[in-house]
Every structure is written in C-alpha cells, then in structure tokens.
Structure 1
Amino acid sequence: MKSYIAAAIQMTSLPDLEKNLVEAEELIELAVRQGAELVSLPENFSFLGTEEDKIAQAKEIALKSEKFLKTMAQRFQVTILGGGFPVPVNQEKVYNTALLIDPNGTELTRYQKVHLFDVNVPDGNTYRESSTVMAGNDLPAVYHSEQLGTLGLSVCYDVRFPELYRHLAYKGADILFVPAAFTAYTGKDHWQVLLQARAIENTCYVIAPAQTGRHYATRRTHGHAMIIDPWGVILSDAGEKPGVAIAEINPIRLEQVRRQMPCLQHRVFV
C-alpha cells in the first residue's frame, strides 16, 4: 500500500437516470483533476426517486449504472466504487448493490446491502426499503490491493451495525466505505459520530460519499460526505452542496495509529 488521494463524491441525485450520470461524470472528473486514484460515489448515485419508479426502471438503471462505472474507471484510470444502485431480483424486488471497479473496467467485488432501512423517522417520514429491496445474504467481502490497501464495502444503514465493520477489520480492512443517502433528520445528529466511531473502533480510514439536499417530494438528505482517518479525525467534509471530499490515505498514519492503539490485537471475543 502506498500513499494516495481518495475522493468521496457528494450528489443531489434525482428521479432522472441520464441527468444523474452526467452529474456523476462531472464530479468524477473534478476528483481526478485533484489527483484522486480512488473515487467513490454515494448510494443511489444513478437514481433517487420513488420506490415505484425505481422498480419500474430497475433493469435500465442496473445496466446503465454498471456500464457507466466501468467506462469511467477506464477513461480516468481510477478505481471506482458505485455506492448503491438497484439490480433486479424479480419484477418486485431488487438488490441494493455496491460495485467496485478497477482502472481496467473489471469488477473487483460487489456487495448486496444486508441491513434495510425500515424506519419511522421522527420528522414524520416513513421509509420501508424492504418493500422493494431484498436483503443480501452475505457479509461483505474485502478486496486486497497492493496499491490501495484492503477495501471493505458497506452501504448507508449498515453504519449502525458495528459488527459488520468488525468483520471487515477482522478480514484485514484498512479502508471502510460507507456510501449513503442518509436522511436529513437523522444525519444531523448521527452521521458524523457514527462514521467516527467506525473509524476509531476499527482503526481504519472511512470513506463516506453522500447524497445531499432535496431529491423529490419530501425526500431530503444530510450531505457531509467525509473522509476520516483511523484516529477519528475528519480529513475532509463536503458540506451541504454537491461536490467532492478529497484526502490522502497514508499507510504510515494507519500503522502509527494501530501501533499506538492496538485495539484489534486486544479483542477477546471474535
């Protein structure tokens, strides 16, 4: 693993596949111009609309999203995480799928979101992700890269389940991805502290691309795409507007923190 620049992209995705992909390409190019070698896109980067519209367009969204990720990775010669898009299971359900692609356009690993957001939020909004999404059955795998370190995948609501990240750390993860479309109401209180907790307890970098702003009707997200170091220090925060959080991933810093705070070596229960 070497030092390199990573990017967590922040978008305001809409119920418009083509428009979202144009915005995503512009932000990927912005990140690459700033030196990024690892670029991550948020959950629902290619489509954020009603559950009914998502299901109706799922096949097209899945095909175009995967093609887009492979094309962007090859064009810009970077590794790209597509943080979540629907992949049809049948006519009624999809998997919320995160996909990691290398600079050759080759799929490295994929993860089907396990924890589904079925929550009555105190602001009056009700979310039932399970109405259209089938939960994945498998814990996320890690991908070992000599250049980028060991990368662990997750998606949004997963961040509230620390056992998933301890699994990734146990498998050797150096970097934890948390692509999200975190609600505006919960995000203001929980987003940052949860990300910092996952970084600190696992002594890993956290890369968290995010959705921000208003998407349709009352659907609003928190923003603040972040990159956090293994000590819990926020290295970059994209704020509340579309843009990019950029920071260095430094193996020396990773080793230093793990030497000073060897939590992973002190685990009693595995």
Structure 2
Amino acid sequence: MTAYRALALQVPTVAINGAADPRAEIRAAIERVNARVGGAKAWIGADLRLVVLPEYVLTGFPLGESVAEWRDKATLDDLCYQALAKVATGHGVYLCVNAYERDEHFPDLFFQGSLIFDPSGEIVLRYRRLHSMFSPTPYDVWERYVDVYGMDAVLPVAATELGNLAVIASEEILYPELARALALRGAEVFCHPTSEIASPDLTQKAIGRRARAIENLAYVVSANSGGLSGIAIPGDSTNGGSELIDYEGRRLAAAGPGDSLVASAELDLTALRRYRTRPGMPNLLSRVKPGLWAEEYARHDVERPNGLDGAAPGRAFFVQRQRDAIKRLYGAT
C-alpha cells in the first residue's frame, strides 16, 4: 500500500483521578474511541487506515498520585487490551493508543506505553516512553530492561503495509536524538500521541514536529486532546491543534478545538521514498554522521541510567534526579 489516509483523531479526555470506579471510566473511554473511529471511517472513507489517538486518552495523567497508586488505578488490564484490539479489527485500521502499562518484570512500577494494533488486532509495536519528568521509564531500570527486552524493543519500528511506523510520545518530540535513532532504524511515519498546550502561537512542540519531519524526511501524525475534564486544570488548555506534517515540514491538515476528525490527510509512501533516495542538500538523513557524535555524547554525564532499583519511587526522587543532572551540567549548587 503506497498511499492511504491517516487521521490524528482529536477526542476529549476524561481524567479518572477522582473517579469512584476508574476501571469503568477506562472502559467508557474505549467505547467513546470506538464510536469516534467508526464515525471517522464512515466520514473519511475506506482508505482511512491509520488512526492516532491523543496521549493518555483513556485516563488522563497522575496529579498527586504516587507511582503505586497510579499503577493500580490507571494501567490497562486484559479486558482493555482486548477492547482496543476490537476497535482496530472492527474498523479495519491500524490504531495507535497511548496508555499506562504494568510489566511483570518490574511489578512495582508502571510505564507510559504507546501501542499500535493492526487490523487483525495484533500489537505490532509497543514503545515505552524514555523521557518523562515524573513517571518511571525504561531508562530508570536500564540494564535490566535491555537485558529482558533488547534494544529493538526500546527503539521499535514496525514494518507494516502502511510503511515503517514508529511512535514518539508527547514532549519527546523535543528530543531530536530519539526521532533520529528511529529514522536510522527505518521509520517513515512518526505517530505522535500528545496532550499539550493549544495556542494560536507556534508552540515548542509544533516547532519540534516540523523539525523532526524535516531532519528525518518522515511524516508526523500528531493527535492532541480535544479538551480535558475531571480535574481542576482548565479544560481547554489542551484542546486543538492535532496535525499532520509531511517530510518537508509542510502542514497537510490541522484541527481546531473540540472533538474533531479534521486532522486527516493522505500519506504517500512512494513520494517519501523517492525523496529519500534523491541526492541533494535537502536529503538530510543521508548526510548524518553518527561516528562524529558518538564519542562526544559519551563524554557527557547528564541524566544517569539505572536510578531505580525496581521499587516505586516518590515524587522527590524525580525532582532530585533533575537537580543532580543540572549540577553535573552547569556546576550548580
């Protein structure tokens, strides 16, 4: 399949922080997603094959809860995985969803995962967010995580009929190393689940999306929240701006605020691959010099791996970790 339509499905997020029955709220969120995907497929057409959902669309995010509390409240169970698989199979789409997950190898923690289900309901990609301010990541248990899963699972790229898909979660769009590593592994389409400031001004993440697309000659399908309810943060702070960016940094489609399917466009893999194999100055990916930077990066001691021993940390751990990194960077006291 060399051309198809992709959708950054902008839907509201209902936070479960104060819910009496968080599991029921998660199930209700999946039902809302199912209805919206069905409506989008009917509206856009049968060539809609890739749907990206906003960040933590099923739960919202932890706001004062401990790692243990959020792990028990917000992580997916088997019924959730099955229900999400049915959304993909029922509508014949690849479905990218961002959600919190448990891991049997790290039972005291949770990870913020991004999953892609194919139209048969199989999970063809699972990415765990590597950069997070207040949540555990694989980097915090690095040696054991890599030992269990290997680097291909840390930086996954899924070869599919829709091209080579990868996921960049939320603020990770601001870290060029991640996108570049995925592109060097073959990624052609970056799925970007996010929940971010919606502003008429050009935001940092909006700049990041264009930069990552240009640097890596890749499409970016970025789904933002269509509003946030259930917590005290003003609901329209994260409302609107879902967009699709092409491999030259051009915006193909964008949504205004609210519950919306407007951020949909055709992705043309033939054109992308032709551009990637065309010699010239704009072919930035072919001009990368990994050997030039490998030694230099290795010299610098900033955020260190293996900060956790597997036990659930308190919020103070994350704050102190950053203080220590700042001290190493700038010699601050």
Question: TM-score, with normalisation over the residues of structure 1?
Answer: 0.85
Q: Give the whole-Å Cα distance in 1 for the aligned partners of 2:95 and 2:275.
A: 26
Q: Which residue in the other structure is 2:4 paired with?
A: 4
Note the C-alpha offset of 1:74: 1.2
Q: Give the whole-Å Cα distance in 2 for the aligned partners of 1:176 and 1:257.
A: 17
Q: 2:91 aligns with which of 73, 76, 93?
A: 76
What aligned pairs does 1:51-200 form with structure 2 within 5 A after superposition? 51=63, 52=65, 54-59=70-75, 61-82=76-97, 84-89=98-103, 93-116=109-132, 118=133, 129-130=134-135, 133-135=136-138, 137=142, 139-145=154-160, 147-184=161-198, 189-200=203-214
Q: Give the whole-Å Cα distance in 2 for the aligned partners of 1:253 and 1:5.
A: 14
Note the C-alpha offset of 1:184: 4.5
Q: Which residue in the other structure is 1:122 paired with?
A: none
Note the C-alpha offset of 1:41: 1.2
1:32-51 CA deviation, whole Å, 9 max, x = no partner?
A: 22131111112112111544
1:194-214 CA deviation, whole Å, 9 max, x = no partner?
A: 111111110100011111323
1:202–1:264 contact (8 Å) kept in structure 2: yes
Q: Which residue in the other structure is 2:290 paired with?
A: 269
Higher helix share: 2
Question: Quick one: which amino acid aligns to residue 265 of structure 2?
Answer: A
Q: Which residue in the other structure is 1:27 paired with?
A: 36
1:79-99 CA deviation, whole Å, 9 max, x = no partner?
A: 1111x1111246753110111
Unaligned runs of 5+ in 2: 17-24, 143-150, 292-333
1:140–1:154 contact (8 Å) kept in structure 2: no
Question: TM-score, with normalisation over the residues of structure 2?
Answer: 0.70
1:43 aligns with 2:55: yes
What aligned pairs does 1:185-224 form with structure 2 within 5 A after superposition? 189-215=203-229, 216-218=231-233, 220-224=237-241
Q: Which residue in the other structure is 2:324 paired with?
A: none
1:177–1:208 contact (8 Å) kept in structure 2: yes
- Residues 269 and 91 from structure 1, CA distance in 2 versus in 1: closer, same or farther, beyond 3 angstroms? closer
Question: Quick one: which amino acid aligns to residue 88 of structure 2?
Answer: A
1:131-180 CA deviation, whole Å, 9 max, x = no partner?
A: xx4445553210112x2111112211211111011011101111011111
1:204-248 CA deviation, whole Å, 9 max, x = no partner?
A: 000111113233211642431111110111111122212122110
Structure 2 residue matching 1:115: 3-state secondary structure: coil
1:179–1:210 contact (8 Å) kept in structure 2: yes
Is 249-258 or 94-103 further displaced after alignment? 249-258
Higher strand share: 1
- Residues 13 and 232 from structure 1, CA distance in 2 versus in 1: closer, same or farther, beyond 3 angstroms? same
Unaligned runs of 5+ in 1: 119-128
Note the C-alpha offset of 1:76: 1.1
Structure 2 residue matching 1:176: 3-state secondary structure: strand
Overall identity of the aligned pairs, in % = 25
Please report the RMSD computed on the Cα atoms of aligned residues, expressed in angstroms: 2.4
Q: Which residue in the other structure is 1:124 paired with?
A: none
1:254 aligns with 2:297: no
Task: From the CA coordinates, give the structure whose radius of gyration is larger.
Answer: 2
Aligned residues: 254
